[in-house]
Amino acid sequence: MSASQDPSRRSTAPAPSKRPAFEPAARLLKPTAYDPDMRRPISIVAGTALVLLRVVAGVLVVVGLAIGWDDLMADPGTVLEGFATTPEGQQAALWVLVGVYGTILLADLLLAVFVYRGRNWARVIVMLFTVVSISTTFVAWWAQGQEIALEGAFVSLAIDILVLLALSSRSAAAYARRNQRR
């Protein structure tokens, strides 16, 4: 019998430790290390790319809405609250809508840039907006029976969930806090 088959001669190397399915609160609350030279983790890059994808999708929605605005206004069931039913009132409503959505998309774009540069406040704001978006989709599904279809809310919901997962990771938090002294 060779030495490798001898049961009395077992390896003394420790077995690789598994990561627990849950983590104790003390470990989760432990501050991240101070490392100003930390490399940008893939979670920050992925989160930023997903926020930019959300901005591009929003621009496409606004452009599609502006292109189909006349057809939408031609529908007899369309009612514009607070605007006149004249063509000038309809154009004013379109400009207000484009202005509001454009401002939101510009803010989202700026937040994506700040997240990429490692600003913690921007990461937290993006995560808060994402939680509000996911919660709104859930409430619309739960209370109003709104369908979550591939053409509509499903893609937006999936992007929001992925943004939240990427930016809430330990590596993203450590990168965003890398310049904070403890």
User: Which pLDDT score, from 0 to 100, does residue 141 have?
Assistant: 80
Instruction: Report the interhelical angle of 42-67 vs 87-116 (nearest 10°).
Output: 170
User: Which pLDDT score, from 0 to 100, does residue 70 have?
Assistant: 84
- Which residues in the chain come in under a pLDDT of 50? none
User: Which pLDDT score, from 0 to 100, does residue 140 have?
Assistant: 82
DSSP 26-49: HHHHSPPP--TTPPPPHHHHHHHH
CA distance 124 to 128: 6
Q: How far apart are the first and last CA of the chain?
A: 58
User: Which pLDDT score, from 0 to 100, does residue 181 have?
Assistant: 66
User: Which pLDDT score, from 0 to 100, does residue 129 have?
Assistant: 94
Query: In the chain, where are the structural domains located?
Result: 39-176
User: Which pLDDT score, from 0 to 100, does residue 98 have?
Assistant: 93
User: Which pLDDT score, from 0 to 100, does residue 35 have?
Assistant: 72
User: Which pLDDT score, from 0 to 100, does residue 106 have?
Assistant: 97
